[in-house]
Chains A and B, each alone.
Chain A
Amino acid sequence: MSANLSAIFYLISGILFILALRGLSSPETSRQGNLFGILGMIIAITVTFLSIGSFSSGFIYVLIFLLVGGLVGAFIAYKIPMTAMPELVAGFHSLVGLAAVFVAISAFLNPGAFNLGSAGNIKLGSLIEMSIGAVIGAITFSGSIIAFLKLQGIMSGSPITFRGQHLLNALILISIIVLIYLLCSTQSSNLFWFLLVVSFLIGFLLIIPIGGADMPVVISMLNSYSGWAAAGIGFTLENSALIITGALVGSSGAILSYIMCKGMNRSFFNVILGGFGATEQSSTQNKEQRPVKSGNAEDAAFLMKNASSVIIVPGYGMAVAQAQHALREMVDTLKKNDIKVSYAIHPVAGRMPGHMNVLLAEANVPYDEVFELEEINNDFANADVAFVIGANDVTNPVAKTDPQSPIYGMPVLDVEKCKSVLFVKRSLSPGYAGIDNELFYRDNTLMLFADAKKMTEDITKNL
């Protein structure tokens, strides 16, 4: 296949990828969009095979590796529980990053295969492009590994900070630029390997100071990085499908990071520099106990039975307790009693963008009962009961009243405006921000101290 013809096909597959993202503007068109994406991928892979033309015996190995990877991927996709989606996405990001690094290594060692010159004499532009692709790929890889370990609970979710952290990171970032410059002037392979090692290291160091509840920003940011890495490799390979996709993914991740930061009223740099929530914890421990009203499942069932509208506020705790199915059963029972039920989702609820929506969809909750913060916030004043399950900081009225609070200015759900608030929580411990939730001590709040799933099931029994 001529180079021109394959370039046109790569363009087509790039356009199909755009349509795949476009499809996600509504759930009805999204499935078709995904098929466009698959079609785009099939075209890109087929064209690559055809453009190489000479089917050497290496071809069979390509198929074997493709098939092995494909089977592993398919197996994971079918087995993974929906609650583990943040870990899965972080894991997948790390693979894109590593693949980008491997392609860059391969191109560096055998530039002839990619028309980039010869080993030790690679075209300057290509060398810069592949270094950038490899550096971002390596950062994506090691950063995503850390994010994965934190989300999986293998590594503590609390921020890891040490003295001189930011200085060290700044020095490493500068050294990366110097190394790329030296690499371009000497073409030394030792420098190339060293550059990779340093990049892996900085990816690791960048993510360790960031705490668990900031993971939505981290995952989105790594999503963005994986796109820029792909684009860097796309420039090296002069492949438009890869350039288009890289740009799409890069801007997609950047927008998601922006939305998540806005949802917390924090700047991107505030999140990335990390350490949030680590300092305030000590001060809350000395606080005296304030009285709270606590109740059991019967009380909760009584309140809800006499309500005419209920708003459910799910959070990360619901995912941890795997309570989404029990919750939907409770809601079904409420609906049978002609009680209007809707769901209110805060932008940063959960550990990744849209996390709660997926879990509710899994539990067969129709998506037109699920509302975003801006859509539903005015309805709390007219609702009888707010049922907060696994959320905390995103309901704290302090964000609106106390300028001293670390979460001041963060958009919160106006849960306290409901006639009564049911708050399912295991204890009174503060949320991620390390501050007390004012809501616990309000007169119209009833605390339900229990595991979210068990409490929800008990309420259903009592309805």
Chain B
Amino acid sequence: MEIDPFIFRLSIFILSIFIGYYVVWSVTPSLHTPLMSVTNAISSVIIVGAIIAGLAGNSESIFNVSSIFGFLAISLAAINIFGGFLVTQRMLQMYKKKKKDK
């Protein structure tokens, strides 16, 4: 009997939870805020679904109800992607070590 592809996706999902568990425990507590903003940014990879939805309309009807929701989702996810990564970068740039010559 063939294995349902769903099982493979479920395996990826469960293994990723374990990876996430160990990786996140190794994050230093002082970087918990950047952790939240970067997880925010990467969870916006949901934009791939939004792009598929946005491009689903054919040339006569680019804007149908389904693709409009896709376009809106693209914008929302894009706010998060750009905002999330940039604000994380801005925060991380501030974390400096003690200057040695002090």
Contact = CB atoms under 8 A, between A and B. Distances in A.
Nearest to B5: A238
A230 B62 contact: no
A407 interface: no
B94 A358 contact: yes
A249 B78 contact: no
Interface string B90-102: 1111111111001
B77 A255 contact: no
Binding site secondary structure of chain B: helix
Contacts of A106: 49-50, 53, 56, 66-67, 69-70, 73
A22 B97 CA distance: 20
Interface string A215-254: 0000110010011001101111111111111111111110
Contact of B24 (A107, A255, A364, A369): A255
B51 A45 contact: yes
Given A110-B66, A249-B42, A41 B81 contact: yes
B78 A247 contact: no
A171 B30 CA distance: 40
A178 interface: no
Contacts of B84: 73, 77, 92
B64 to A, nearest CB: 7
Given A21-B35, A24-B34, A44-B45, A52 B55 contact: yes
A145 interface: no
Contacts of A244: 12-13, 16
A38 interface: yes
A353 B16 contact: no
Given A41-B85, A248-B39, A354-B35, A69 B46 contact: no
Contact of A226 (B29, B38, B43): B43
Contact of B31 (A77, A93, A357): A357
B81 to A, nearest CB: 6
B77 A34 contact: no
A102 B57 CA distance: 16
Given A61-B71, A74-B83, A248-B19, A113 B52 contact: yes
A239 B84 CA distance: 22
Interface stretch (A12-20, A301-309, A423-431): A12-20
A179 interface: no
Contact of B38 (A34, A68, A233, A259): A34
Contacts of A114: 49, 52-53, 56
A95 B43 contact: no
A282 interface: no
A353 B42 contact: no
A21 B39 contact: yes
B45 A17 contact: yes
A288 interface: no
Q: Which of B12, B49, B56, B70 has the most CB of A within 10 A?
A: B49
A96 interface: yes
A37 interface: yes
A122 to B, nearest CB: 13
A75 to B, nearest CB: 8
A65 B35 contact: no
Contact of B74 (A62, A245, A251): A62
Contacts of B38: 20-21, 24, 33-34, 37
B66 A113 contact: yes
Interface string A43-66: 011011100100011110110011
A105 B50 CA distance: 10
Nearest to A241: B45
Contacts of A180: none
Contacts of B80: 73, 92, 95-96, 99
A24 B35 contact: yes
A255 B76 contact: no
Contacts of A73: 78-84, 86
A237 to B, nearest CB: 5
Given A72-B78, A103-B50, A246-B43, 11 more contacts: A18-B20, A67-B78, A72-B83, A99-B44, A99-B73, A102-B50, A103-B46, A110-B53, A114-B52, A246-B16, A366-B96
Nearest 4 CB-CB pairs, A to B? Answer: A69-B78, A354-B32, A113-B56, A73-B83
